[in-house]
Structure 1
Amino acid sequence: MWAIVPIKRFAEAKQRLAPLLSPAQRAGLARHMAEGVLTELGRLHWLDGVLVVSAEAGLSNLVRRLCFEPFDDAGAGLNAALDAAGARLAGRGIDETVIVHADLPLFHAGALEHAAALHRRGGARRMTIVTDLRGGGTNVRFCRPAAAVSAHYGEGSAARHRAAAQAAGLAVETVTLRELSFDCDTPDDLRMAYGNRLPGSAAFGAHRAPSAA
């Protein structure tokens, strides 16, 4: 199984947090979360590889150090970039992928391993969707065969992924796991994840986010 991790340019990320954070703080937050997710993925030795789909030059050193593979998104948009990344892996005969978003402040390797165990219980044609806490978004998506379903990210993506998978004859399971379902899109999300330790403060220098209560 390969992981595919789409990461927006840090300077363009987290626009919905503009009422609370400066542009530099938003970029710092995006970097903090992305580096945390990639570092945790590097602990999972059962992954055959990690494809990082991004045009963010600031990630190159970490991607190289972790021996991950970069894939330039070419400004094509999230869904087109993910489909292109999936096609690259499918062309190598890779038949199973997990797409992991990089704005998950509570993400850790053990949580993804638990989700992978749930996914492996299924048959040869299966999709497992880990939604956001609101149930509408797709934070993590396992798919076997890897190229069976196109990417349908955006508002209400979980329902669209489920419908597309069912139309392709895949069994679908939808789960919520706090460490994978908690993303950071709104000021309330930010406060829940970090409290007063906001990007740019001395306390925000730690590489990992605190665990939620």
Structure 2
Amino acid sequence: MTSFLLAPCFIDKLCVVIPMKSPSRSKQRLVGSLSDSSREKLSLTLFQNTLAFFKQHFPMLDVLVVSESLDVLSLAQSYETNTLFDDGSKGLNGALDFACDWVKQSGYDSQLIVPSDIALLDYQEIIDLMAAIHDAQVVIAVAKDGGTNALLTSPPDAIPFEYGCDSASAHRANALRNRLVCRSLHFANLALDIDHSEDLQVAVIRQPEQFKAWKQTSLPPVKEQYYA
């Protein structure tokens, strides 16, 4: 699988897209669990972790960050990524449509959308995700709540983007409607984005040094299924 990833013909035609809200508007579902400043710090920490991960483990891949925040775009540029300003008026799906147009016009054949708030990005999971494009045009990494935590499409606009509630099913349905082969994959780490207080608790347990600053001792214990 590693040899597939490193093939120049694949590397040159794939763009990683990372959408990122303004930190002040991020993590709204953690209101009541974290202060405004803590939520903003958490959002930026996760974003920087994502940028650092791809720069360290996949330096051969081009990355595009799309955001409404000039500060976010400036930070992304310090990691040598491409950047695209979107005013946020059309939400996440609109921002991704805008990014997809940029990706296509820039000559890429494939696109990998990765959210900015995955608690722990795992090298082998990303390798396995990208390898799945061998026999599918749409590859979905399913989130713990049925959302989409990574979406690999070839061509980039193979399906309409429908991020939101139960988006993994929506993306799969769009692929089938377009008569495309779709694979839905379930990864232990890639399934965990931090949207709720329980997510943050799991992140603290899995990576205590990285997330100890946000540990909330007053929250109820995490249910066993949260580890699945």
Q: Which residue of 2 aligns with 1:133?
A: 144
Runs of 5+ consecutive residues of structure 1 not aligned to the other structure: 202-211
Cα distance in structure 1, aligned partners of 2:213 and 2:33: 10
Contact 2:204 2:215 (C-alpha < 8 Å) held by counterparts: no
- Equivalent runs, 1:1-213 vs 2, <5 Å: 1-43=14-56, 44-47=58-61, 49-75=62-88, 76-117=90-131, 119-123=132-136, 126-134=137-145, 136-195=146-205, 197-199=212-214
Return the offset for 1:50: 0.7
Cα distance in structure 2, aligned partners of 1:158 and 1:53: 21
| Per-residue CA distance 1:166-186 (angstroms, 9 max, x = gap) | 111210000111121111111
Contact 2:200 2:214 (C-alpha < 8 Å) held by counterparts: no
Cα distance in structure 1, aligned partners of 2:197 and 2:214: 13
Cα distance in structure 1, aligned partners of 2:93 and 2:115: 13
| TM superposition score normalised by structure 1 | 0.86
| Per-residue CA distance 1:137-192 (angstroms, 9 max, x = gap) | 00000001111212110111111101111111210000111121111111111111
Corresponding letter in the other structure for 2:152: F
Return the offset for 1:86: 0.4
Q: Which residue of 1 aligns with 2:7?
A: none
| Paired residue total | 198
Contact 1:95 1:147 (C-alpha < 8 Å) held by counterparts: no
| Per-residue CA distance 1:48-68 (angstroms, 9 max, x = gap) | x11101122333443222211
Corresponding letter in the other structure for 1:144: S
| TM superposition score normalised by structure 2 | 0.81
User: 3-state SS of the aligned residue for 2:172?
Assistant: helix
User: 3-state SS of the aligned residue for 2:153?
Assistant: strand
Contact 1:25 1:200 (C-alpha < 8 Å) held by counterparts: no
User: Structure 1 or 2: larger helix share?
Assistant: 2
Bigger relative contact order (CA 8 A; separation at least 6):
1
CA change 1:200–1:60 in 2 (3 A) is: farther
Contact 2:138 2:154 (C-alpha < 8 Å) held by counterparts: yes
